[in-house]
A and B are shown apart, each in its own frame.
Chain A
Amino acid sequence: MTKVLMKGNEALAEGALLAGCRAFFGYPITPSSEIAEYMARKMPKMGRTFLQAESELAAINMVYGAAATGNRVMTASSGPGISLKQEGISFLAEAELPSLIVNISRGGPGLGGIQPAQSDYFQATRGGGHGDYHIIVLAPSGVQEMMDFAMQGFDLADHYRIPVMIMAEGTLGQMMEPIIVREPVTDLPPKPWATTGCKGRKPNIINTLHLSPEFLEERNLHLQHKYKLIQEREAKAETFMVEDADLVVAAFGLMSRIAKRAVMDARQKGIKVGLIRPVTLWPFPEKAFQEAAEHVSKFLSVEISMGQMVEDIRLAVNGRVPVEFYGRIGLIPNPEEITRQIMKIAQQEGWV
C-alpha cells in the first residue's frame, strides 16, 4: 500500500471526512487551527458544512444542533477554547448526542503557552463540565492514529451515543509522517432519535432538563450504566516489554514514543523496564496496570504536565506498588532525561 506524507492535524481532519463528518464548527486557536483551515478548504467542495463560529461556546452549541440532526459533526480547539466548550460538552453528554471534539493541546493554566502539553488530562478525563458524566478520550501517538482515531471516534460516538474527544499534543498536530489513507466509510447507523421534523412519526425531543428528582436520578443511573459498559469494553492500552519488568514507565500520546526510546536505552543498560501506553485516557486501562502490579516493584508516570495521569495509575494499583512521577511543562521530557530517571530508580532499588 502506498503511503502519503501528512501533517497530524490534516490527517485527523481527513480521517473525519472519510468517516462521513458532515459539518465542522470551530474558532481559531493555535495549535489546532489547521484542522479548521483544512475543513474550510475541503468541505464546501464536498457539499458539506464548514462554519467559523463567533466563539467556542457558539461552536460547541452548533455541534449540539447539528448532531441532533443525526449527522456526524465535530469541532476542534485547544486549551482555553476547550474550557469554553465545557458547558456544551456537559449538555451533549446528557442529551447523548454523538459528536467528536478535538483538543490539540497546549500548556495552561490561563492563556498558558502554545507549546505542546498534556495538562488538560484532568479536564478531559473527569468530565470537565458540570454533572456526573464522562466522555471517551482517545490519545493518538502518531499521525496514522490521528486519522484512524478520528474515524474510530465517530464510530464509538454513534455506538454509545456519547461525545468522544481526541486529545493530542500540539506537536502531533504539527508533525508530518507517512501514513496509509483509509477507505471512506459508507455505512452509517440510523438515528431514529434525531430531530429532523416529525413527518410521519411522533415528535422527537432532545432535552437535558429533568425536574423530577426521581427521573434525574434515573437518567444518571442510565448514564452510569453506559459508562460501566464502556469501561469494560473499550479501555485500551499498548504494552511493551512489560512481562518480565521490574519497573514500568507509563506515558500516553506522542510522549509514549519518546518514553519507549528511554525504555529501550535502559534495557541496554540491563534494567528490566517496560512501558504501558494508555490509548484510551477515559476509560482508563486499569487492567494493564493491575496485571503489571503483580510483578513490578515500581511505576513511573512520565507526562508533559505537573502530574495528572499519575493519579489514575495510583487509583488503579490502589497502593500495592509505589507510583513515581516525572514531568515537565512547556518542554517535552527527552529520552535522556527519562533514562536518567529510570537509572535513578534502578540505583535506589539496588538493581545496578
Chain B
Amino acid sequence: MKVVAQRPESLTDAPFHYCPGCTHGIIHRLVAECLDELNLREQAIGICPVGCAVLAYDYFNCDMLEAAHGRAPAIATGIKRLLPDRLVFTYQGDGDLASIGMGEIVHASGRGENITVIFVNNAIYGMTGGQMAPTTLLGQVTTTSPYGRTAEQAGYPLKMAELLAQNQGAAYICRTAVNNPANVMRTKKAIKKAFQTQMQAKGFSMVEILSTCPTNWGLSPLEALEWLEKNMIPYYPLGEFKVS
C-alpha cells in the first residue's frame, strides 16, 4: 500500500489541545514538514510563546524551550549566539510578539539576529479568553473591546510584517494566511524560505501567518476562515515584504 500522508517526523504523536477548527494545528504541521524536508529536525531548537501554543514543546519532536511571555526572541538570541550552526526558531502569537514582546522582536530584527520567527496573528488573545490584541481590527468585538475596537480609545492595529521589514537586519519577511489550501501551500513555502534564509546566515526571518480563533471570535470553523479572508486580509495584505 502506498502511504499518501503521514505524521511528519518533526511532530510527536501527542494529540493537539487546540480548539476544533483552530489553525494553530495546520501551522504546526507546516513547520514540522519544513523541518523534515530540509532535514533540520536534529539541528533545530524551538521556543514556545506564552499563548495558546505554550505547549508546542509537546508537539515538536526537536529540542524545545518555553519562554516567558514575549521574550522568545531574546531567548533565541542567547541560543543562536552560542550555537550559530543550529536552526533556532520561535513560535509566537500576536499578544506575545506585538504587545508584551514588542521590544524583543524589534531589536532581534534590528540586530539581524539570524533566527526565524513563526508569527501567528489571530487578531485576539486566545489563551486568556478573547481579549483585545494589538492586532485586533477596528470594530472587532473582544472581551476588552466589548463595543468594538475604536481608534480613539485603542489606536490602530499594528502591521508587524511591514514594521519589521523596514529594519536593515531583516532578511526575509513575509505575510501569509492559512484560510484555504492554496494559501496553506504558500505558507509552507514561506516557512521553508525563512528556514533557508537562516541556514544561509542571511539574517532575521519572519513569517506572519494570519490564523483563526473560532472560539474567541464566536464563529464556526468555516465562518472563521471566511471572516479571516473578508476582514483580515484586506487590512493585512499577503506577500513578501523583504527578500534578500
In the bound complex, residues from chain B placing their C-beta under 8 Å from that of A63 are 78
Q: Does B13 contact A (CB under 8 A)?
A: no
Residue of B nearest to A49 (CB): B81
Q: For the complex, what is the distance from the CA of A61 to the CA of B64, rounded to whole Å?
A: 15
Mask of A198-237 contacts with B, CB within 8 angstroms, 1/0: 1110011111110000000000000000000000000000
Task: Please tell me if the beta carbons of A203 and B62 are within 8 angstroms of each other in the complex.
Answer: yes
Q: For the complex, what is the distance from the CA of A15 to the CA of B45, rounded to whole Å?
A: 31
Say which size band chain B's interface belongs to: 35 or more
Q: Does B158 contact A (CB under 8 A)?
A: no
In the bound complex, residues from chain B placing their C-beta under 8 Å from that of A71 are 82
Mask of B83-119 contacts with A, CB within 8 angstroms, 1/0: 1001100000000000000011011000000000000
Among the 9-residue stretches B67-75, B142-150, B182-190, the one with 4 or more Cβ atoms under 8 Å from chain A is B67-75
Task: Please tell me if the beta carbons of B103 and A58 are within 8 angstroms of each other in the complex.
Answer: yes
Q: Does A62 contact B (CB under 8 A)?
A: yes
Residue of B nearest to A69 (CB): B82
Q: For the complex, what is the distance from the CA of A91 to the CA of B69, rounded to whole Å?
A: 11
Q: Which of A59, A88, A199, A205 contacts B43 (CB 8 A)?
A: A199
- The interface on chain A, measured as residues whose beta carbon lies within 8 A of the other chain's beta carbons, has a size of 38
Residue of B nearest to A91 (CB): B68
In the bound complex, residues from chain B placing their C-beta under 8 Å from that of A203 are 60-64
Number of A-B contacts (CB under 8 A): 126
Task: Please tell me if the beta carbons of B44 and A197 are within 8 angstroms of each other in the complex.
Answer: yes
Q: Does A64 contact B (CB under 8 A)?
A: yes
Tell me the dominant secondary structure on chain B's binding face: helix
Q: Which of A49, A198, A207 contacts B62 (CB 8 A)?
A: A198
In the bound complex, residues from chain B placing their C-beta under 8 Å from that of A197 are 42-45, 62-63, 83, 86-87
In the bound complex, residues from chain B placing their C-beta under 8 Å from that of A49 are 81-82
Q: Does B79 contact A (CB under 8 A)?
A: yes
28 sample A-B contacts, Cβ–Cβ < 8 Å, listed by A number = A23-B78, A49-B82, A51-B77, A53-B74, A54-B107, A55-B103, A57-B74, A57-B103, A57-B104, A58-B104, A61-B68, A61-B71, A61-B75, A62-B77, A63-B78, A64-B67, A64-B75, A65-B76, A65-B79, A66-B81, A68-B79, A73-B82, A87-B71, A196-B45, A198-B63, A199-B43, A207-B64, A209-B55
Q: Which of A's residues lie within 8 Å of B, judged by CB?
A: 22-23, 25, 49, 51, 53-55, 57-59, 61-69, 71, 73, 87-88, 91, 195-200, 203-209
Q: Which of B's residues lie within 8 Å of A, judged by CB?
A: 41-45, 47, 54-55, 57, 60-68, 71, 74-83, 86-87, 103-104, 106-107
Closest 7 CB pairs of A and B: A65-B78, A66-B78, A61-B74, A65-B75, A62-B78, A195-B63, A199-B42
